[in-house]
Amino acid sequence: MNRRTFLLASATPLLAANSIAGQTQGLPTLKPARLQPGDTVGLVAPASATFQRVELDIARESLEALGLKVKVGRHIMDRHGSLGGQDKDRAADINRFFDDSSVKAVLPTRGGWGTSRLLPFLDYETIRRSPKILMGFSDITALLNGIHARTGLVTFHGPNAGGRWDEYSVSLVKRVLFDGEAVTFDNPKETSDRNVLTQTENRIRTITPGRATGRLLGGNLTVLTAILGSPYVPNFDQAILFLEDVGEDWYRVDRMMTSLKLAGILSRVRGVIFGTCSECGPGEGFASFTPEEIFADHLVPLGVPAWHGAMIGHAQPQWTLPVGAMVTIDASLGTVTMVEGGVT
């Protein structure tokens, strides 16, 4: 084998990967139908196992309290290690619900870990033919972005079925998924009993002021960086990138932001929203990056509108964001405005 033949053979996997990635770009945007009281939703466990039946009961009862009927995936109480069953079985529950005309939305019980393992087993042709609401967050980031990348379907970064259903979060779910409203998201500006003089919770900090419009993409930073280089990463050209995380030392956040930079994602976006990093700290050692230093190193040089502190993340009320839909952001005000409704 001569050098030219060797180089072409070595490049074949890369060319194939690029070809696959190219198929995820330029797809028409698909919007699912809005939810209505009485609609049926499918409950699945694409990530960590549902270890106790009470978790399933709470998820089902929460959805029923929204006026919805619930179908439970066949494998929802399965377990494989820490996962909610074998990869093909978890994927089969999702495929089955997308192929079921009586089901209008597919919702996970929880996040955790394992969603990215089932991406190769999803039936993207069926999903494209039968667009439905898919919502979740944390590890479900892999599902939201993978399905959008391969089908063009707008997915939703919002509460998991077994997660937090506080009044604020429920209100936004109803406005976005039931009413089809083009919502402007901004943090509540309230004082608290702890400090009645000025706001101490849900504050935003502008990194780079300005406004920008683009397709909203992102989610959990750890999960997003874990699927880089795969055919399940959307096209971030001219996008608005949003990020959040939980339980990470700040040096790890810096490492993952570096990964996004080296992958060419940061240089391609029109704006960046960093939500919260719950339970994140300096870790062991004598020194650490601060969040402000990480943002200064990675986001300020981009020169695009950016801020942090948005209500996107864990352990707090959260927005219901349309992944893959057009939005306009204002980094000075800390707002995200949907250009149009995310459902039909």
The CA distances from residue 10 to 2, 14, 16, 18, 49, in Å, are: 12, 8, 11, 14, 39
The CA distances from residue 242 to 78, 163, 224, 324, 327, in Å, are: 32, 20, 11, 11, 12
Distance from chain centroid for Cα 176: 15
The answer to whether 142 and 116 have CB atoms below 8 angstroms apart is: yes
Query: Which structure tokens are listed for 89?
Result: 């079985």
Quote the crossing angle between the two packed helices 250-262 and 291-298, to the nearest 10°: 10
Element (H, E) at 283: none
Q: Which of 62, 75, 148, 244 is catalytic?
A: 244
Say what the alpha-carbon torsion angle 50, 56, 60, 62 is, to the nearest 10 degrees: -90
Element (H, E) at 124: helix 124-129
Verify whether residue 192 is a known catalytic residue: no
Taking the C-alpha atoms of residue 139 and residue 223, their distance in angstroms, rounded to an integer, is 6
Verify whether residue 171 is a known catalytic residue: no
Q: What proportions of the chain, in percent to the nearest 5, are helix, strand and coil?
A: 35, 20, 45
Element (H, E) at 140: none
Q: What are phi and psi of 327, to 5 degrees?
A: -140, 160
Query: Which structure tokens are listed for 316?
Result: 């707090």
Q: Which of 48, 138, 157, 298 is catalytic?
A: 138
Taking the C-alpha atoms of residue 337 and residue 330, their distance in angstroms, rounded to an integer, is 9
> Which residues have a catalytic role annotated?
138, 244, 314
